[in-house]
A and B are shown apart, each in its own frame.
Chain A
């Protein structure tokens, strides 16, 4: 099983829609997570950090399900500018660890 698995998409949604995608991880020791956003042909940038059961930041909500080993990202009231690839990164948080990035889920928001 891959360390991090994401549905590559694309998820095509209209403006204003709510969309959610999941990320499954194999390392049960992972205690926290990051969601990065990557625009086409650009560098990844941190979107959210998730240190407990979840985190909410405006229209974005991340939730962690430790029992099933997945985290989800929910985007409400989608904007055209949300079109990007969203990368999931689990953090084993046991000393120095090399981060493993998922392949990302592509989101396309249309007018």
Chain B
């Protein structure tokens, strides 16, 4: 199993550009989520999905879109990049959305918006 994979590892964008961060998992997990981590702050939930075709907003959803067309993939789209979106983005998956299941994280995407 590859676990949770994320691409790209690093990305530099200019203000106003759009892009998609890719996330895939091969563990047949129903629950997937996107977090951002800024220096000195905890992981903050952006969007999550409890299964294919179902998504919902997390704590900081503005400026991001998601879709879940398959169980395996959960891409995160930045609509119009802003410097405030400079961060490290982690995708995670688990068997269920409750905390009773271990969250498996991808290696992260380091995004810089200039």
List A residues at the B interface (Cβ < 8 Å): 4, 8, 32, 34, 36, 41-46, 49, 87, 89-93, 95-104
Contacts and interface: CB of A to CB of B under 8 A. Distances in A.
* Interface of A, helix, strand, loop or mixed by DSSP: loop
Contacts of B90: 43-44
- B interface, size bucket: 20 to 34
B106 A97 contact: no
B99 A34 contact: yes
A2 to B, nearest CB: 9
Interface string B46-81: 001010000000110000000000000000000000
Given A4-B42, A103-B41, 17 more contacts: A32-B99, A32-B100, A42-B107, A43-B106, A43-B108, A46-B102, A46-B103, A49-B102, A92-B99, A96-B96, A96-B98, A97-B97, A98-B33, A98-B59, A98-B97, A100-B42, A103-B42
8 contacts: A42-B107, A43-B107, A91-B98, A92-B99, A95-B98, A96-B98, A98-B58, A101-B43
Contact of B42 (A43, A46, A95, A104): A104
Contacts of B100: 32, 91, 93
Interface of B: 33, 35, 40-43, 45, 48, 50, 58-59, 88, 90, 96-100, 102-103, 105-108
A44 B104 CA distance: 8
Nearest to B31: A96
Nearest to B107: A43
A111 B63 CA distance: 45
Given A42-B107, A43-B108, A98-B48, A103 B40 contact: yes
